[in-house]
Structure 1
């Protein structure tokens, strides 16, 4: 069962807003066994919308449209959809008018005639009552294809998808099961992992797919199975996961996003009743943000000192002026003194410190852009490593964060 998502709005195409609606719809459809075949973003243009609807009907059994259902002149979706279905009659729904008036009374807003238009739907549409806004959704069925038109406001769209659209789809279609298992890895790139598990991937049955989802410092391996028998699919996926664990055990942190490095680090620190602090220069607090994103991190995370300038490194972390003069602020020596300083000041078992040149300039150091030093200091060990993460600035910062977490995780393990 294939679906297509069409988002309507110039604001998406010019980058004014990010299309989070498609992400949510795709995730929810997948949960009930519907595969999204294509996502299309188009302008508020009648002919463009008509073309998109016609093409989507040829490809998909379910077409979900978001946007363009407001009361203003630039919201042309409803009129255009009516034209697509050759529907010349609009029907006014009193219950929608009553709902809009009730909403407006709560915010002391007068009801006007332009709002009455929102209560008018094409005669071929089935009303989908919008409990969170004024524009109702619409459900059409033509030539064995379901068309669903929803408002573009995210919380309104989500309410309609969850409460009305998904149950109606499940009632109308016999759907397969789609099951995913995602394995979290760190420390090796996509191509290296692919080489190591090539034979495994080549031997997968056609109804099980493997996808590589890389990001800075980590790769998620997503196994997806599709079929009519849920228990059989789950058993087979569990077998495949076990096979991958045997092939690359040393780089796996666990299953799904619940096994992020941050959570694994937190779990290890909690188990050992240990604490950690960070001293950050080029990353500006991003390592700290990752660590505290885990619920309950206050049990082991003591804090951070963002020492961006040389003066802050000296005054707050106790880095020696002589060390900076001799080696510069971007050096393994300064990284170590930063880690020692924050560990001592915050009285922790572990400390992470990073310093480097993220670019675009080298800030009067002798190190090129991309050079980063990461130091880990514990109660009985000191480590400092040099990396060259290249360019641009964002890449250097993100890779520094990922690598710092990877190093501390290895030490805790």
Structure 2
């Protein structure tokens, strides 16, 4: 089963709005065994909609359209679909009742423009959108399934999860799907591929591997699709176990957890607390850790000591050490980790100090130089790294990920 996603709106094409709908829909379709073969973003123009529908009908079994269902004149999707299917708009009472319910709840009066949202193509099956005034539409013609949904993300998500996916699963004969993502860190994509090359080449044809590299980590996404669930399950998890044995030292998570979440679980398991002292990462480590629900049980806080005087005043780094070594130094990083641990009374302290770029710092150290320190009751670790080939935001992201990974490894 192949699907084509069409997003409609000039705001998408000029970069005013980012298309998050397609990513959500693609992931949901993939989860039930439907492969997305193309995503198109087009203008709110009749010709563009018709041309794209013609093309999608030739290459896909399922077409999902988002956008263009609002009450204003620039929203022409519904009228164009009626024309495309040689149809006409008719009043749909249930859509009007839903629209009235929403307007009444807001103490608003329905205008004639809004009332027109209850007009539906007669050949379409309307799908009531309880979170918005625009109903979705379902057309079935020549064994093609065409859905038109509002572009508002939370309305679209509700309709996909509660209406569209259940309909597709009961209407179509879909294969069984198993997906698993293994997160690795500390090794580049090409080196990883070299290690697992023989295993990858011997995967059965119904199991696929995708490499998804990002800052300092590589996701390995395994996707299995087969009509025989027993065979698929047995083979799939056998392959996962083989992969895990090949790269155990690089695996961070086997269930899509980020490293900060894995670290949090380990801290809770060992009943340990953590504090951070950040210079070049500017609070990014703190942000990552606190993005995890429940992190207050183990994370106490941070000192963002971006300025040298903060390192001296709050973290008590002696001025003579700074004068002798500068702030981007092994000894300074270690003292930052030790002293933030004391200051916030935690078991573990993490510290970063470096040169994020694009310009050199006052001490003229190379851009990309960083010292990361981790101090625990049993161990003090500090090491110099260089991320000179990365621009500023990438540098901050990679250093933050590495600091969290090092902490996880140490404890």
Smaller-chain TM-score bracket: over 0.9
In the TM superposition, residue 239 of structure 1 has moved relative to its aligned partner by: 0.3
Superposed CA offset, 1:295-328 (max 9, x none): 3322222211111111111111011111222222
Partners in 1 of 2:215 and 2:136 — Cα distance? 40
In the TM superposition, residue 236 of structure 1 has moved relative to its aligned partner by: 1.0
Task: Show the counterpart of 1:273.
Answer: 271
Task: Show the counterpart of 2:70.
Answer: 70
Task: Show the counterpart of 1:180.
Answer: 179
What SS does structure 1 have at the residue aligned with 2:314?
A: helix
Partners in 2 of 1:358 and 1:254 — Cα distance? 28
In the alignment, structure 2 segments of 5+ residues that lack a partner are: none
What TM-score, normalized by structure 1, do the two folds share? 0.96
Partners in 2 of 1:142 and 1:98 — Cα distance? 28
Q: Does the 8 A contact of 1:328 with 1:366 survive in 2?
A: no
In the TM superposition, residue 102 of structure 1 has moved relative to its aligned partner by: 2.2
In the TM superposition, residue 17 of structure 1 has moved relative to its aligned partner by: 1.7
Q: Report which stretch shifted further, 128-137 or 101-110.
A: 101-110
Q: Does the 8 A contact of 2:275 with 2:302 survive in 1?
A: yes
Task: Show the counterpart of 1:351.
Answer: 349
Q: Does the 8 A contact of 1:181 with 1:237 survive in 2?
A: no
In the TM superposition, residue 49 of structure 1 has moved relative to its aligned partner by: 1.1
In the TM superposition, residue 378 of structure 1 has moved relative to its aligned partner by: 1.8
Task: Show the counterpart of 1:40.
Answer: 40
Counterpart among 367, 371, 381 of residue 373 in structure 1: 371
Count how many residue pairs are aligned between Structure 1 and Structure 2: 410
Task: Show the counterpart of 2:10.
Answer: 10
2:315 paired with 1:317: yes
What SS does structure 1 have at the residue aligned with 2:134?
A: coil
Partners in 2 of 1:7 and 1:372 — Cα distance? 43
Partners in 2 of 1:171 and 1:162 — Cα distance? 14
Q: Report which stretch shifted further, 43-52 or 188-197.
A: 43-52
Task: Show the counterpart of 2:222.
Answer: 223
Task: Show the counterpart of 1:27.
Answer: 27
The correspondence of residues 280-359 of structure 1 with structure 2, limited to 5 A, is 280-359=278-357
What SS does structure 1 have at the residue aligned with 2:110?
A: coil
Q: Does the 8 A contact of 2:79 with 2:89 survive in 1?
A: no
Partners in 2 of 1:375 and 1:167 — Cα distance? 51
Partners in 2 of 1:106 and 1:57 — Cα distance? 40
In the TM superposition, residue 144 of structure 1 has moved relative to its aligned partner by: 1.2
Superposed CA offset, 1:164-192 (max 9, x none): 21222122211111211111211101111
In the alignment, structure 1 segments of 5+ residues that lack a partner are: none
Partners in 2 of 1:166 and 1:267 — Cα distance? 33
Partners in 1 of 2:279 and 2:166 — Cα distance? 51
Partners in 2 of 1:2 and 1:240 — Cα distance? 26
Partners in 1 of 2:276 and 2:167 — Cα distance? 51
In the TM superposition, residue 68 of structure 1 has moved relative to its aligned partner by: 0.3
Partners in 1 of 2:116 and 2:337 — Cα distance? 64
Superposed CA offset, 1:214-246 (max 9, x none): 111211111111111223212111100110111
Task: Show the counterpart of 1:205.
Answer: 204
2:91 paired with 1:92: yes
Counterpart among 363, 371, 383 of residue 381 in structure 2: 383
Partners in 2 of 1:27 and 1:164 — Cα distance? 16
2:107 paired with 1:116: no
Q: Report which stretch shifted further, 227-236 or 127-136.
A: 227-236
CA RMSD of aligned residues (A): 1.4
Superposed CA offset, 1:69-98 (max 9, x none): 0010110111111222122x2111122222
